[in-house]
Structure 1
């Protein structure tokens, strides 16, 4: 089985994914790192040099490769991956995949992302926290349709990593 962690940027997909994979003794795959390896370039550079459409097509190729893996793994997807084309349908229709949406409120995401804005190409241009919050609110509204199709929704507000991992493990059985 492959475990896909879905959620907005800054929701903790990579952080939780690494620890969950250790706990259940599976490989951890960071989707964004796979894209960077494939292109031999940082995601911010791919966006800047080749644009978002190129990036989304690349994302689809990597998603298809992840779904064909013959091994168990915990995979943290990119924040936008489930929201483009029919990527979420592809994930949902895969027999050996279970998906978890790591859900956080707008305020928590804004706090987390404000601190790392420069490293996030999609939000690096936003001048202040108010603009960032507005952007996140709009994005979450648009992406919620896709995120909420996950097999399980884990409300991560006010929870530490350990609690989130335990909740995921309970759902896995």
Structure 2
């Protein structure tokens, strides 16, 4: 089985994914890292040089590839992955994938992301906490329809990554 982590950027998918893979002795794969390796370019540069449409097409292609090739892995998706190009259906139709939505509050996401916005192409242009908060609020409204279709939803606010990974293990086994 592959455990697929989804959620908004800053929800802890990479951190929790690594912890979960360690605890379960599984391979860990970050889809964004996989895309960067395959494209031999950073996500930021891909967005800048080829645009979001190109990126989303490649993201879908690589998601299919990863779900077909990986077994017994923890896979962290990009924040928008389940919301584009039929990717949610690809995940749901995969017989060997269980999806987990790491649900994080707007305030928590704003706090986490403001400090690291320079590293994230979708929010790097937002110069104030209020602008970032409004941006995230809009995205969460649009994306929650997709995220909430995960097999399991886990609230991450005020919880340690170890607690969250233990909850995932308990839910799945």
TM > 0.5 between the two?
yes
CA–CA separation in structure 2 for the residues paired with 1:154 and 1:22: 19
1:44-123 equivalence runs, <5 A: 44-123=44-123
| Shift in Å, 1:72 | 1.1
User: Secondary structure of 2:11's partner?
Assistant: coil
Misfit runs of 4+, over 2 Å: none
70 and 13 in structure 1: CA distance in 2 versus 1, 3 angstrom threshold = closer
- 2:30 equivalent to 1:30: yes
Give the TM-score of the pair, scaled to structure 2: 0.98
> Any unmatched runs of 5+ in structure 2?
none
171 and 40 in structure 1: CA distance in 2 versus 1, 3 angstrom threshold = same
Q: How many residues matched? A: 173
| Shift in Å, 1:71 | 2.0
CA–CA separation in structure 1 for the residues paired with 2:31 and 2:63: 8
Indicate the residue corresponding to 2:152 in structure 1: 152
User: Secondary structure of 2:69's partner?
Assistant: coil
120 and 70 in structure 1: CA distance in 2 versus 1, 3 angstrom threshold = closer
User: Secondary structure of 1:9's partner?
Assistant: coil
> Any unmatched runs of 5+ in structure 1?
none
Give the TM-score of the pair, scaled to structure 1: 0.98
| Shift in Å, 1:70 | 4.7
CA–CA separation in structure 1 for the residues paired with 2:167 and 2:69: 25
CA–CA separation in structure 1 for the residues paired with 2:103 and 2:71: 27
CA–CA separation in structure 2 for the residues paired with 1:56 and 1:161: 29
User: Pairwise CA RMSD of aligned residues?
Assistant: 0.7
User: Secondary structure of 1:68's partner?
Assistant: helix
CA–CA separation in structure 1 for the residues paired with 2:36 and 2:150: 25
